[in-house]
Structure 1
Amino acid sequence: MLVVATASFAAAVPAYAGLGGAPTYPVTASSTSAGALSLGGAAVARYAASGNAAAPAYTVSQTTLPSGTVVNEYITAANTVFALSWEGPTMPPLKTLLATYFPSYVQGLTDAHAAQGGGYGAAVVHQSALVVETGGHMGSFVGRAYLPQALPQGVSADDIK
């Protein structure tokens, strides 16, 4: 009986993926030719690389967290998150959003902090497989993270906003 209860509880817990996997937050709106549609706190927009409007290179799913922080997940046609951006009064849950890349991020921060000799400032990690840039101040945080080798053809880091 206990095994059945445990199994049904596990099925009720939402599954999270994150950077390099499926979207962390549910994509609940469909795209429109107008660019973005907002439904129930989530907005989705499709963008085409190199001006090819017929085949979107990626979708942006926007979620507003209970804290008021807005998280954008950049998703390929294969339903894989290749980039994230955020802006708001609190930092988003980076451990959840970065998923399997979180340990690389933490190691990158440790290395950068040691190289700078300590201090405060923006947290920036530039690795061949992961880029994370965070900044702001108390009550106003911004940042982005992306997988350089996973950017769809025709999409540059400048498109991650």
Structure 2
Amino acid sequence: MLVVAAASLATVAPAYAGLGGAPTYPVTASSTSAGAASVGGSAVARFAASANAASSAYTVSQTTLPSGTVVNEYIAAGNTVFALSWEGPTMPPLNTLLATYFPSYVQGLTDAHAAQGGGYGAAVVHQSALVVETGGHMGAFAGRAYLPQALPQGVSADDIK
């Protein structure tokens, strides 16, 4: 069941870049101040804020999707997304956000589902190159994804919120 749900997300939005590449959504504010912009006449807000003082090696770009789901892209020097987090009433387009890692995510879900003997629950994939944790219920979804090997020096998985 989880695999079907994950695969159905594959038709939600076109791919631009994503995890391991350039930010999926354009960053329209400076990295030191928050701002918003209207995109294509829609009420899609885009924000960029400095990362915490412990690690100035990355920026967090926050995007509110038309559904109301908020997506945070953690961007390292060199404009590479090394982590994502999301929270909102709908799941974000994981096929777009995970980009080339999406097939690994789907395979990880398949393997985890088989190991659990079926059933429902949080979708968690822990691989050496990819970690995806997502859960929630209808109207309230949250999750995060990151590339363990791409975390900037001084940044831990606990910093991805």
Normalised to the residue count of structure 2, the TM-score between the two structures is 0.84
Question: Counterpart of 1:4?
Answer: none
Question: Counterpart of 2:101?
Answer: 101
Question: Counterpart of 1:137?
Answer: 137
CA deviation map 1:53-74 (0-9, x unaligned): xxx2100000000111000000
How many angstroms does 1:48 deviate by?
5.4
Q: Partner letter of residue 38 of structure 1?
A: G
Normalised to the residue count of structure 1, the TM-score between the two structures is 0.84
Unaligned regions of 5+ residues in structure 1, if any?
A: 1-13
Change (3 A) 1:134 1:15: closer
From 37, 45, 53, the equivalent of 2:34 is 37
Question: Counterpart of 1:74?
Answer: 74
- Pairing 1:4-19 to 2, within 5 Å after superposition: 16-19=16-19
- Asked if 1 retains the 8 angstrom alpha-carbon contact of 2:15 and 2:95, the reply is no
Question: Counterpart of 1:125?
Answer: 125
How much is the aligned-residue C-alpha RMSD, in angstroms?
Answer: 1.5
- Asked if 1 retains the 8 angstrom alpha-carbon contact of 2:90 and 2:141, the reply is yes
Which 4+ runs in 1 deviate beyond 3 A? none
Q: Comparing both chains, which one has the higher relative contact order based on Cα–Cα distances under 8 Å and sequence gaps of 6 or more?
A: 2
CA deviation map 1:9-38 (0-9, x unaligned): xxxxx8710000000000000022xxx513
Question: Counterpart of 2:40?
Answer: none
The separation in 1 between residues aligned to 2:51 and 2:60, in whole angstroms, is 8
Q: Partner letter of residue 84 of structure 2?
A: L
Change (3 A) 1:15 1:101: closer
Question: Counterpart of 2:22?
Answer: 22
Percent identity between the two aligned chains: 86
Question: Counterpart of 1:58?
Answer: 58
Unaligned regions of 5+ residues in structure 2, if any?
A: 1-13, 38-44
How many angstroms does 1:39 deviate by?
1.7
